[in-house]
Each structure stands twice: as C-alpha cells, then as structure tokens.
Amino acid sequence: MALELQETARSVLGRHPAPAIPLDELEDLVSREHAGRPLEARELARRLDGSSDEVRIIPVDQRRLGWVTPVGWAIGNEDEGAGGRCLSGRMRWSLRRLGRSLEPGSNLALARWARLLAEERRIRPSLELKSNGPRGVTAP
C-alpha cells in the first residue's frame, strides 16, 4: 500500500501545473485517485517524507510560518530535461529545484520560496499563453 501511495502522489505531482502543492491540496488529489482509506495531510506527509526521492515534503513551522500553508509543501521530482524549451516548463523545473535544495529548518528560505511560488501562480496563465501561443502551437 505504501508503494501504491507513493506512486499515486508522484503521478499527481507530475501532472499538476504548479511546481509544488500544499499538502492539504495533495491530500485531496491523492484521496480521489488512491483506493485506500483517506489520509489526513499530516499522515500523508509522514508516509511520503523520506520514503523515496520521488516526492519531497517540506514541513512548515506552524508557530512561525503558519500563514504559508497549514502543514507544508510537496514537491515532485522531474528530470533535468523536463522543463523543455517553454518558459512555463523552465520556471516549474527551476522552482522545484530551488524547493528541493532549501536548507532544512530555514524559515527565511521557506518564506522566500513560498513567495516565488505565489508569483509563479500569479503569472502562470501568461507564461502558458506565451509558451503555447494562441492556438496551442509551441513558440519557437
């Protein structure tokens, strides 16, 4: 069951347009696809954290950074070439890479990264339009 849960989480993270997903959102998405019993975000984080290189869990110190997200973030793993030529893909890959290299326990680094995620979410529609063009054709 643990392997199936990891595979489901990896698949959800790979398909999601965001570079990282709040654990509460990952909990909802995994629960829809996973045949087992529903898991709370903290339990999902506990099961996924350190279980493989496919999913990285970034916990949030609730006393200091509770405004960032209730529990933490989940980041999927992508190959280096996964960003491709499109700007949105490169942005997603870069933010995942930054998130995977955050210093553990650094609230300042986490807050700065969360701000970058918020900016990416704000401009994502424009990036996708630029990358895909008005008719879905990849830009040169």
User: Which tens digit of pLDDT belongs to each residue from 44-55?
Assistant: 787 787 766 778
Structural domain count, the chain: 1
* Residue (of 80, 74, 72) closest to 16 by Cα position: 74
Residue 139 falls inside a structural domain: no
Residue 105 falls inside a structural domain: yes
Residue 79 falls inside a structural domain: yes
Question: How many angstroms from the chain centroid is the CA of residue 20?
Answer: 2
The string of pLDDT tens digits covering residues 55-112 is 888 888 767 665 655 578 899 876 555 556 678 888 888 999 999 999 988 888 988 9
Q: Which domain holds residue 127?
A: 2-132
Task: Place 37 in a pLDDT band, splitting at 50, 70 and 90.
Answer: low
Residue 116 falls inside a structural domain: yes
* C-alpha dist (Å) from residue 36 to 1, 4, 5, 23: 8, 9, 9, 18
